[in-house]
Amino acid sequence: MLRVTIHDTAVELHLHLEGRLAGPWVREAALCWETAQSTIAGRAVTVDLQDVEFVDADGEQLLAAMHRQGVTLRAACPMMAHLIEEIATAEQEGVSHEKRDCQWPAMLP
């Protein structure tokens, strides 16, 4: 299960994820992100992974796509902090996190 809470302020759009970013929940998170994108209007976007307990390969790809679009990923636990570091390092090195058989639609460039 995954819970997505959106905190929308004048300066930032903040998405707080709780639970597991895996399986069908990745598609739900992608749909939330796609919907939220229409309201960004140049504001900072942060995704808080503090309460995420697991991310599967599709979830990692979604986070990588969001990061490529300028989203700041935040985490408190070492496991999620390491995942964020891997995503940022791969982006700097030009390594793609995409795969052809994703479970969520290719909504993000």
pLDDT digits (tens, 9 = 90+) for 100-109: 344 444 444 4
Q: What is the model's pTM?
A: 0.83
First to last CA, the chain: 26
Return d(Cα 43, Cα 9) in angstroms, integer: 9
Q: Which residues partner with 6 through β-bridges?
A: 15
pLDDT digits (tens, 9 = 90+) for 46-76: 999 999 999 999 999 999 999 999 999 999 8
Residue 96, pLDDT score: 60
Domain segments of the chain: what residues? 2-93
Domain spanning 2-93: CATH 3.40.605.10: no
